[in-house]
Chains A and B, each alone.
Chain A
Amino acid sequence: MIIDVNVSLSRWPNRRLPLDETSKLAAALKQNGVSQAWAGTFDGLLHNDLAAANKWLVDQCRSVDEKLLLPIGAINLSLPAWEEDVRRCHELHGMKGVRLLPSYHDYTLEDPRFRQFLSLLAEKHMLLQIAVRLEDPRTQHRLLMTKDVDLKPLLTLLSDFPHLPVILLNAVSSSAVELHGQLAAAGKVYFDIATLEGLAGLERQIQSLPFERLLFGSHSPFFAFDSAKLKLQESELPAQSREQITYLNAVKILEELC
């Protein structure tokens, strides 16, 4: 059983991906033993009408398999009235969480709107995903260059939101190992394994982050799903810890939202 917390629907802006049709992606996820995938939308990167993008996301998830695909709406804090997008995600669509893409939306986590946003999510008992990166800067299109999200400002905010689950997607490849440990200690901060690298990388990762804060994430369909799954094979892990990473930690996050 796997819960994949890092999946996206729709098209990558400058490339067709083998699994960028929702039905095809869903079939591949099922075939790989995924029982639930937390799905955002690539439309969130560049679209300004996020209400439409999030509605499309919900419709796609429902059209394929409502139990398999859990929609995670996109929020852009640099857009006017972003609060209304949060409200619709929560009240209209019944979403469990939303995803921020700060690199593509031109703000930092020092922005006062980010604190307001955290307060709103905490009130609504929603989870937050922050995409720290989506693509290696070295391979980005010259006209779509973005930097990784600077997570340091988050550290000072977490103490005010002790119950808010914050999932940092595609974060663990960066060199900020010390900061990640501090973030995990300061709040309910989680990391997915999509960008985890190195020989037996999970064995190394648990030396700086507890099992309880690691989640299975594939970054499909941008990444090949097998790359995340094979990481579980490359590292020797106790069975309990393996289950925590692959689904128990994610289940607990959802249970504690209620």
Chain B
Amino acid sequence: MARLIEVADRMQIERLVLFMGAPFLIAPTPEQFREQNDQVLQAISHWHHRAFGFVYLNPEYEKESLQELDRCVKDGPMTGIKLWVAKRCDSASVDAIVRRAIELKAIIYQHTWLKTTGNLDGESTPADLHALASRHPEASIICGHTGGNWELGIRTIRDLPHVSVDLGGGDPTAGLVEMAVRELGASRVLYGSDVAGRSFASQLGKVTAAEITPEEKQMILGQNLRRLMSPILQAKGVRL
């Protein structure tokens, strides 16, 4: 964690949102996701002024996921949920998690990709996310990686104002940020690094080089996340 903060400092990145531990587990058992969340809790324990944690869950285990959500968010310091590739998010089994997240004012980060080369069995597409988000207009949802194939991802979730996009996790392709801002508005666009799979630099460059206003860049680089997290931070008595 200290190394992560050291490199973040070089890039003037003030705060990090962490989720998942090591090794990568695409379908963790309850015991495994608890262990991974413990890794994150440990990592942020001395860095509350620099880092937030999102709880990693597996919707295949609905009851255990809800218990873990309460352990880490309701009774712990975490502020959001990370859903990865264990189960496609249009599944009804995700609904209970989303409903509980709404009660806790927690943000939901759902990994999405629409791979030309083919998705994993449990990997959600932006269309899957659209189906889920349409059922829960009160939820605060992030479309992870803007769906990978971002021109399609942006179009897919465009009509859902409670869904934001995360810019991280793909190549630093020029034009992504401009399209996202044009189609969604800057308030729905979030900087994400996907470090350490990616680098702070390559993903930051997407925003700094984009042909948008300085004010829009500030929104993407921090103001939007601050706004999205305000309800749960206020509920927890945390002031930024």
CB-defined contacts of B201 to chain A, threshold 8 Å: 201, 227, 230-231, 233-234
Asked whether B214 is an interface residue with its Cβ less than 8 Å from the other chain, the reply is no
Q: How many residues of B contact A (CB 8 A)?
A: 36
* Cα-based distance from A199 to B200 in the complex (angstroms): 7
Are B148 and A139 in contact, with the CB atoms below 8 A? yes
Closest CB in chain B relative to A147 CB, distance in Å: 10
* Cα-based distance from A137 to B171 in the complex (angstroms): 11
Indicate which residue in B175, B199, B211 contacts A201 across the interface (CB closer than 8 Å): B199
CB-defined contacts of A200 to chain B, threshold 8 Å: 7, 199
* Cα-based distance from A213 to B167 in the complex (angstroms): 31
A19-B174, A197-B197, A199-B199 given; A139·B208 CB < 8 A: no
Closest CB in chain B relative to A227 CB, distance in Å: 3
Q: How many residues of A contact B (CB 8 A)?
A: 36
Chain A positions 59 through 86: 1 when the CB is less than 8 Å from some CB of chain B, otherwise 0: 0000000000000000000000000000
A198-B199, A199-B199, A201-B199 given; A229·B205 CB < 8 A: yes
Are A224 and B199 in contact, with the CB atoms below 8 A? no
Chain B positions 186 through 217: 1 when the CB is less than 8 Å from some CB of chain A, otherwise 0: 00000000011111111111101111000000
Surface stretch bound by B, among A10-18, A89-97, A242-250: A10-18
Asked whether B115 is an interface residue with its Cβ less than 8 Å from the other chain, the reply is yes
10 residue pairs bridging A and B, Cβ less than 8 Å apart = A139-B171, A195-B171, A198-B197, A223-B205, A224-B210, A225-B209, A226-B206, A229-B205, A230-B205, A236-B10
Chain B interface residues toward A at CB < 8 A: 3-4, 7, 10-11, 113, 115-117, 148-151, 170-175, 178, 195-206, 208-211
Q: A199-B195, A233-B10 are in contact. List 16 more A-B contacts (CB 8 A).
A: A18-B210, A135-B171, A136-B171, A137-B116, A138-B115, A196-B199, A197-B198, A199-B200, A224-B174, A224-B205, A227-B203, A230-B201, A230-B208, A233-B11, A234-B199, A234-B200
